[in-house]
Chains A and B, each alone.
Chain A
Amino acid sequence: MTALAQPEQAATPIRQPLIYRPESAVFWLYVVALSAGAFGLLLGYGIAVHETMAAQIALGPVWLVFIVFLIWLMYQFDPYRSVRHYPQVLVAGTALGGTTACSSALRGEDALGGVLARYIDPDTLTLWQNALTAPFIEEAAKGLCAAVILVLCSAVFNRVSQALLVGMFVGFGFDVMEDLTYTTKQALSSLDSDLSGAGGNLVVRIVTSIPAHWAYTSLVTVGILVLLPTFADRARWTWRRRVFVAAVLLAAGPFMHFVWDAPVPDIPMKFVINVVVFAVAVFLLLRYERHRIIERIAAERGSARLDGVDSAVLDSLPTLRTRRRLRRQARRSGGRAARKAVKFQQREALDLVQAAEGNSA
């Protein structure tokens, strides 16, 4: 197998700043939204969080494991490494989701709950309030934050798989901060102790985190991307296709959220419905990305950029299974070191193929 890529040929990510772009109005929108969101959260929940901080610190290891697990899980939905070189974009999305989206959604939901209380019987509203407010207010808040990130970073974040991950991280930031507010409320309102109130609620939130905000918002964000002029495949998609796909995905996120928050059906059925909706949507979206990668490989095969890349490595890229198969072959013929080398080559090749697209776009 040919050794891959001299360092100067390797796929280098775009080094220009993606977030800090003071020449762009969108950057300043981001700054203002982030500041206002952080200030709003501090104003609304600062005292309560401070009051229960000891319980949250005691739960610190649980929080840490939960956060690390969700980040690992979300990265599993990027098999083509389309966002690996730009973690700053995902951090920016997480920050916006955790401040602006969370703050504006909590405020909007309270107000919408007050509006609904005028027309719906109190006992009925107690059952239905979350389902009638959260899917619309929260998905709108998170989706708009994801749209800001997609527009701000449109130079490199313009593909379906990238929007999927941006949406996941915006939803993840929202989820963590919403969990913080919920556990704080439960800590305060627990008749036993802060720790039992916060801990019990955190466990429930962790158990019900798959699928949750990160999943809802990922679908909504892809729906937003295909409507944006920055969408990489805009020229190849008819407007009917773009509108149809956007409509389905923009409805799928709130639908999953509604199913989860509604008083019916029971929890196992909610879980089944949401997993099925999410799995089908992600399967179709990643299948589309796979076809895209196959096209890119075909277009770039033999080009100077992929000159040093082994053909077998290129052939193995489309699916995780074919990549594993090649690595197994390498291990059988050359041991663990050969397997590791192939893994490295596959990653480099994936980055090269996608960098080629980025530079030609």
Chain B
Amino acid sequence: MLAVPLVPTILDATLPQRPWDPAETSAEQVLTITDGGNIVVVETPKGWEALDQGDTAVLRGGDSRVLVEAYDLGQRDPVAVAERLIRLHRIEGIASALDGGSIASSDGTLAGQTCVVVTQSATGTCAFLHDDEVIISVVVLSHPGQPAPPIDQVVDLITRQSQ
């Protein structure tokens, strides 16, 4: 009975981790695709690494990590959706709160609100960006003493791609 949870757990803990994709140039991209088929492109900065998890992209560089999640917005209110995502993140151990700021991507296609975030061991900034079809949660985390890249720089890495 112990083997059912323990054998996979031990294998997961001991086998070599899945390799991250290092960005040799600044043009490496990760596509995150929502259930509805909307595509969000996340560019990996040079020297960073990326992990494609389907509808989620994780980037890491130095002590910093960037988590990008994309959802279909539909006809929903982006503010209400952002509040639900804040609660979901809190249950998952990432506590955040809107800080009253607003933000837009440099090409103007995505806009939204900024927030601050804290976990048990890291702090950072976050944002909820949206257009008419998708809402994107961006969380930037870093350890104390190792400042994370500013949220506006991270947001500029994210663009929408037509289906």
Binding site for B on A (CB under 8 A): 33, 47-48, 51, 100, 103-105, 107-112, 114-115, 117-118, 122-123, 126, 137, 140-141, 144-145, 148, 188-192
Contact = CB atoms under 8 A, between A and B. Distances in A.
Interface of B: 1, 4-5, 7-9, 11-12, 15-18, 52-54, 71-74, 76, 81, 84-85, 87-88, 91, 135
Interface of A is mostly: helix
A118 B16 contact: yes
A37 B18 CA distance: 30
A191 B53 contact: no
B19 to A, nearest CB: 9
21 contacts: A103-B5, A104-B1, A104-B5, A107-B9, A108-B4, A108-B7, A110-B8, A115-B11, A115-B15, A118-B16, A118-B17, A122-B53, A140-B4, A141-B1, A141-B4, A144-B1, A145-B1, A188-B88, A189-B88, A191-B85, A191-B135
B81 A191 contact: yes
Contact of B12 (A48, A104, A105, A115): A115
Contact of B8 (A47, A111, A190): A111
A122 B33 CA distance: 12
Contacts of B84: 190-191
B38 to A, nearest CB: 13
Nearest first, the 6 closest Cβ-Cβ pairs linking A and B are A111-B8, A112-B8, A111-B12, A107-B5, A104-B5, A114-B12
Given A33-B1, A48-B91, A188-B87, A115 B54 contact: no
B137 to A, nearest CB: 11
Contacts of A114: 8, 12
Contact of A118 (B15, B54, B71, B87): B15
Contacts of B87: 51, 188
Given A188-B87, A188-B91, A122 B8 contact: no
Contacts of B73: 191
B5 A108 contact: yes
A191 B82 CA distance: 9
A144 B1 CA distance: 6
Contact of A137 (B8, B85, B91): B8
Contact of A108 (B8, B18, B81, B85): B8
A29 B24 CA distance: 55
A226 B28 CA distance: 57
Nearest to A109: B8
A191 B4 contact: no
B4 A144 contact: yes
A189 B11 CA distance: 29
A33 B53 CA distance: 34
Which among B4, B7, B135 has the highest number of chain A CB atoms within 10 Å?
Answer: B4
Contacts of A190: 84
Nearest to B3: A140
A108 B9 contact: yes
Nearest to B18: A118
Given A47-B91, A112-B8, 4 more contacts: A33-B1, A123-B54, A141-B1, A189-B88
Contacts of B7: 108
B51 to A, nearest CB: 9
A126 B18 contact: no
A111 B5 contact: yes
Contacts of A103: 5
A123 B37 CA distance: 13
A88 B18 CA distance: 47
A191 B76 contact: yes
